[in-house]
Amino acid sequence: SPHVSAVIEGLCATVTDYPKPGIVFQDLTPVFANGPALKQVVDAIVCAFAGKFDAVAGVEARGFLLAAAAAYATGTGVITIRKAGKLPREVLSESYSLEYGEATLELHQGDVPAGTRVLILDDVLATGGTLGAAAALLERTGAVVAGVGVVLEIDGLPGRDNLAGHEVLSLLHV
Ligand code: PRP
Ligand code: MG
């Protein structure tokens, strides 16, 4: 089978000026919709971090798809990092600026036992605001960030600078 990066590149849809002028949107829904591609993507990520994590965190919304699949594939649990106002109990919050806007992520206090090694997954690493906030939330709750995995990384943005000190795996760079 073709290398996972070629599979992603072949299926990813590039949409210019979405959601606003100047933004080039990388749409991975065709990757998620393709059974063999989804399996290859999830297998590549969990293989790269095999034995190094106890749980998988997904960042709402698109990170949930990968995190649930990776957790199921490895018999681990999913940690839910959500946009503000969605979690009913006491939360930790981190605000960050997005390529297009400003947002806040939240994590339930007490959902992650201290010392848990957590692999954080999302679809795209762009400015790194989202994943930087996710990593900060997990560290504040006492977890250890085992690594960060994304399907696609947009080069030429400071994504990795916002994840300094963490192992970052990107299956495709564009
Ligand atoms: C997108 C994407 C990543 C993030 C990457 O999510 O799914 O989570 O932006 O950008 P960054 O590296 O510049 O932070 P978005 O906030 O659009 O929401 P969604 O996943 O709910 O669609
Ligand atoms: Mg997202």
Residues 6+ away with beta carbon under 8 Å from 119:
45, 49, 52, 53, 55, 56, 57, 70, 146, 147, 148, 149
Give ion ligand 2 contacts, CB < 5 A.
Answer: 62
Ligand 2 centroid to residue 27 C-alpha, Å: 11
Q: Which residue minimizes the CA distance to atom 21 of ligand 1?
A: 61
Cα(138) to ligand 2 centroid in Å equals 17
Residue-wise pLDDT tens digits, 112-168? 999 999 999 999 999 999 999 999 999 999 999 999 999 999 999 999 999 999 999
Task: Look at the block and give the residue holding tokens 């698109």.
Answer: 62
DSSP strands (E only) in 117-167: 117-125, 144-153
Ligand 1 nearest atom to the CA of residue 162, by list position: 12
Question: Which atom of ligand 1 has the smallest separation from the CA of 59?
Answer: 8
User: What CATH number does the domain located at 49-173 have?
Assistant: 3.40.50.2020
List pocket residues of ligand 1, CB cut-off 6 Å: 59-62, 98-99, 122-130, 159
Helices (runs of H) and strands (runs of E) counted in the chain? 5, 9
Q: Which ligand neighbours the alpha carbon of 101 most closely?
A: 1
Give the residue among 5, 45, 38 at the shortest CA–CA distance from 168. Answer: 45
DSSP conformation class of 126: S
Q: What is the tens place of the pLDDT at every residue in 9-56? A: 999 999 999 988 988 999 999 999 999 999 999 999 999 999 999 999
The C-alpha atoms of residue 42 and residue 172 are separated, in whole angstroms, by 13
Mutational test site, ligand 1, from 98, 102, 152, 173, max ligand atoms within 8 Å of CB:
98
Question: Whose Cα sits closest to atom 2 in ligand 1?
Answer: 124
**ipTM value of the model?**
0.99
Distance 68 CA to ligand 2 centre (A): 15
Residue 99's pLDDT is: 60
Q: What is the mean pLDDT of the chain?
A: 96
